[in-house]
Amino acid sequence: MIRFILVLLLTSTLNLGFAQSTPPAELLPTAVDSIRINVLLNRGKEMLLPNESEIHELLGTAKLESKEAQKFIKRLSKKSAYKYGRALLTHHNLVFICYSAEKVVLTVEISTLTRNIDLYKKDSDKEFYGKISKKTGNYLVKLLVKLNLYEPLQEIGDTEGID
């Protein structure tokens, strides 16, 4: 009986956490002009030893123009881009800032360590928290290599989740 109650509480908590997340398709813009990609070195308290200081450093940046930006949005609009679940670590090191008519419409944060993904729609309280699929991870690797942004991540060991 106690096991049953524990399992019920655990599944209820998990469902509640994911129920508050808006489906990605509702957040993605129909058109984007460009996307600014920032590659970061992020080491928060949860990733450090007790006496170490937090590190937040820009490793590189690139811009996706209209055609490539649309391809990125199209990738994220597919159900196969996501996997159920979420790692507890709140790390992210890829930030995609999506522009339409020269205004920010969406921010996408991805962790190459955990494959967590967060989507934030501008001027809205709607957001999505999830995990990218292995297929999306492979796409990100190819995109980062093409933009010469993969090597800095690989040098610091932050490609574990997408390799």
- Residue 102: give its domain's CATH number: 2.60.40
Q: What's the distance, CA 114 to chain centroid? A: 9
* 160 inside domain: no
* 6 inside domain: yes
* 101 inside domain: yes
* 162 inside domain: no
The number of domains in the chain is 1
Task: Give pLDDT, residue 1.
Answer: 55
Contact at 8 Å (CB) between 153 and 143? no
User: Across-strand partners of 37?
Assistant: 62, 96
Task: Give pLDDT, residue 17.
Answer: 46
Task: Give pLDDT, residue 161.
Answer: 84
Where the chain has pLDDT below 70, the residues are 1-20
Range of the domain at 6: 2-155
> DSSP secondary structure string, 42-101?
EE-GGGS-TTPPPEEEEEEEEEE-HHHHHHHHHHHHSGGGEES---S-----EEEEEEET
